[in-house]
Chain A
Amino acid sequence: MDSATDTVLAEQFDEIEQQHSADTLGMWIFLATEVMFFGGLFAGYAVYRFSFPHVFYAASHHLDVLAGAIDTAVLLCSSLTMAFAVRAVRLGQRWMSILLLGVTAVFGAGFLVIHGFEYHHEWTEHLVPGGSFAFEGADPHRAQMFFWLYFATTGLHSLHVLIGVALMLVLAVLVLLEKITAARFMTVEIAGLYWHFVDVVWVFLFPLYYLAGAR
């Protein structure tokens, strides 16, 4: 065992492989909890979409499909840079790692900015449920349900993106300070798992909300 892995190995583990597989399993279990966390909202969506499908169809037209598509593209690209970042850290390419983590963070921030503009647009269109809600359609009361679910789900997702962006910036600084080196690549690998998860959630949200009314 070389000295680099020696300092990385936590005292409760016998071997570095054991530690790595424990770290990975822990993150996967955490992601399972996240699936169940979002699951409550997906269940709500399923129930109400089956209860009043036409309202969901009509309400969905009020979301900007183009903006949603750009969101999707930005997040998919960020997953690519994240995957490269993990590789760069493993290979010990310090500046490349910082660059790729930074680009991932920029993509994440870009997603939040685009989404912020969408929220602003929906606010001015009176699509936020509550007293000022206005919707021209057959069933304006129930249309609020679509938008309530939309804001709650995308809001929770955006919160996850925000945490991810902060995480990427912290990781980039840690790489810069050489607190994270090739021997400690697991930290980045696990953060990567989280980032890909956030990305995958969006891949489900995009069709459920933006494309529900597509012809």
Chain B
Amino acid sequence: MKLQPQSYLAEHTVRSWLLTHDHKRIGILYLLTIIVFFAIASVAAALMRIELVTPQGDLVTSETYNKLFTIHGVLMVWFFLIPSIPAVLGNFILPMMLGARDVAFPRLNLLSWYIFIAGGVLALWSLIHGGVDTGWTFYTPYSSTYSNSHVISMAAGVFVAGFSSIITGMNFMVTVHKMRAPGLRWFRLPLLVWSLYATSLIMVLATPVLAITLALMSVERVWGVGIFDPKIGGDPVLFQHLFWFYSHPAVYIMILPGMGVVSELITCFSRRRIFGYGYVAAASMAIAVLGFVVWGHHMFVAGQSVYSGMMFSILSYMVSIPSAIKVFNWTATLHKGSISFATPMLYALGFIGLFTIGGLTGLFLAALAVDVHVTDTYFVVAHFHYIMVGGMVMAFMGGLHYWWPKITGRMYPEFAGKLAAMITFIGFNLTFFPQFILGYLGMPRRYHAYPPEFQFFHILSTAGASILGVGYLLPFLYFLWSLKWGRVASGNPWEATGLEWQTPSPPPTHNFEKTPVVTREPYAYDAVTGKEEPQEGLMQQTSAV
């Protein structure tokens, strides 16, 4: 047997992990970290759902409830969703998809993880010392003047963690520009690369605005006066403008990478080329760019002028165009494909359905008049959970199953995987669909007590959340199980295209023994057999030499 280069997992010392420059190991460090944050934020969510079983506020006080939804929001947004696909799967897969040995700046990549940890420690410190009750949005003047909780340390945690996503974004952009294998032109890039590039653009250009906004809010809190302070002519709504200038694009940080993963899964498990490659790629960029000009739709009732409201409404509608292009193109890709329902595919199909519901209800919210009715109700909560959990988390789970053999060299148990995907899908819908109805009937968000007529839907939602919990716990258990007892995976268990599958599982430290040469577009599945097409281009090139 030919001597294989050592797997990237070969070294076992703690030091070899904590000082690693390997993008694959850093991806795993991120994975372990965000699982912790996901668990804490899930406990907060569970407590809220249990509280909401009865109309009276009997389990926790309203103050505790405020702290619960704040910690849930802050941790899920900044410490789980934003790093989920980019920093975990992106770190692991992106350089391999490009045929590169590593990202452009491996040391900065490791630094980004340490910065992330530092931000997480600050956030946990505020949690342990009593929490924060402002909600994840930190609206002034409550956050800057009136709240008696640990706003500054929590904001500092988010501020610091932001720099880790800036570094990741910068690293990805430079890597995509400068580290592509020979022949890997822009329009031969896998769609995950396009969507991670679009995501990086947002991370790099939007995150610093969040940083300065939180810094200004904190300085105002410490100093006693500030630019959001009406006493000196300041406008608290300016905070909302600056905050959403970041946070709306950040919503696309939390969906674009998911779209990229789904493009990989749909093509592989229907054995077809993507329908309209250029449109799907361009749609990612369009969503990223449009995302910067729609922030005002969070402020339709915040007192902005009706004309800006109209502009923001129209611009928000425009985002639906590239989003719909993606959904239609995935569906068209399935058409006449030989579809197999492996676990990652179940997650991907679930993603398409849930993202469509989330996206369409987004149009309700972008319509000025309807938004006035449903602002700050459970309708909004349901809408963004359909995008973030139904979209991004489903895609993350699908991607994790898909690349698990590459990451660990082991297969997960397929039956358990399918079961978990179904349970997640059912549990998710049962949790969040009733919330659309609740919101439409007028149940406001962020309340721990409510009129008794809403109880039925709240009980449905809590029941769904328990099922959803099982859906997340199950993969956690069988992934751990598979590390030791899972079937050993081959280099390319899905017979997928893509450079990452040309490496052994798990890959060696520098991924490729020889830099691969790319001669064709991605997803070159043969229309008849569904197998990867033979590399005609490569042979031509060899004969030309």
Contacts and interface: CB of A to CB of B under 8 A. Distances in A.
Genuine A/B complex:
yes
Interface of A: 10-14, 18, 21-22, 25-26, 29-30, 32-34, 36-41, 43-44, 47-48, 51-52, 55, 129-131, 139, 141-142, 144-145, 148-149, 152
Given A141-B233, A145-B233, A37 B170 contact: no
Contacts of B211: 37
B60 interface: no
Interface in B21-47: none
B86 to A, nearest CB: 15
B185 interface: no
A129 B170 contact: no
A50 B366 CA distance: 29
B182 to A, nearest CB: 9
B235 A33 contact: no
B510 A11 contact: yes
Interface in B182-196: none
Nearest to B210: A40
Contact of B173 (A29, A39, A40, A47): A29
B232 A144 contact: yes
A40 B228 CA distance: 12
Interface in B420-468: none
Nearest to A143: B232
Interface string B499-523: 0000000000010000100000000
Contact of B208 (A14, A33, A43, A144): A33
B207 A33 contact: yes
Contacts of A30: 166, 170
A189 to B, nearest CB: 16
Nearest to B205: A36
**Which 10 pairs of residues, A with B, have the shortest CB-CB distance?**
A40-B212, A142-B233, A37-B208, A12-B102, A36-B208, A144-B232, A22-B178, A33-B208, A22-B104, A29-B170
Interface in B333-374: none
**Chain B contact residues, majority secondary structure:** helix
Interface in B167-183: 169-171, 173-174, 177-179
A21 B223 contact: no
B233 A39 contact: no
**Chain A contact residues, majority secondary structure:** helix
7 contacts: A11-B102, A12-B179, A32-B205, A36-B208, A38-B212, A47-B235, A142-B232
Nearest to A38: B212
Given A26-B104, A47-B235, A148-B225, A37 B173 contact: no
A204 to B, nearest CB: 15
Interface in B204-237: 204-209, 211-213, 216, 219, 223-227, 231-235
Contact of A145 (B179, B205, B207, B234): B234
Contacts, number: 113
Nearest to A21: B178
A186 to B, nearest CB: 13
User: What bracket does the count of chain B residues touching chain A fall in?
Assistant: 35 or more
Interface of B: 100-106, 166, 169-171, 173-174, 177-179, 204-209, 211-213, 216, 219, 223-227, 231-235, 238, 241-242, 510, 515
B227 A152 contact: yes
A205 to B, nearest CB: 15
B223 A130 contact: yes
B178 A129 contact: no
A22 B208 contact: no
Given A12-B102, A29-B174, A145 B232 contact: yes
Contacts of B216: 40-41, 44, 152
A92 B346 CA distance: 61
Given A12-B103, A12-B106, A29-B170, A48 B223 contact: no
Contact of B209 (A21, A22, A29, A36): A36
Among A26, A33, A55, A131, the one with the most B-chain Cβ atoms within 10 Å of its Cβ is: A33
A129 B101 contact: no
B178 A25 contact: yes
Contacts of A44: 216, 227, 238, 242
Contacts of B103: 12
A38 B510 CA distance: 39
A37 B212 contact: yes
Given A40-B209, A41-B212, A142-B233, A32 B204 contact: yes
A10 B101 CA distance: 11
Contact of B225 (A14, A26, A129): A129
Among A41, A43, A52, the one with the most B-chain Cβ atoms within 10 Å of its Cβ is: A43
A10 B179 CA distance: 13
Given A11-B510, A22-B178, A144-B232, A152 B207 contact: no
A34 B242 CA distance: 16
A193 to B, nearest CB: 14
B233 A25 contact: no
A39 B212 contact: yes
A14 B508 CA distance: 18
B205 A129 contact: no
Contacts of B231: 141
B507 to A, nearest CB: 14
A52 B233 contact: yes
Contacts of B206: 36
A149 B100 contact: no
Contacts of B225: 129-130, 144, 148
Among A30, A40, A51, A145, the one with the most B-chain Cβ atoms within 10 Å of its Cβ is: A40
A8 to B, nearest CB: 15
A125 to B, nearest CB: 17
A38 B211 CA distance: 10
B232 A26 contact: no
A37 B242 CA distance: 11
A33 B170 contact: yes
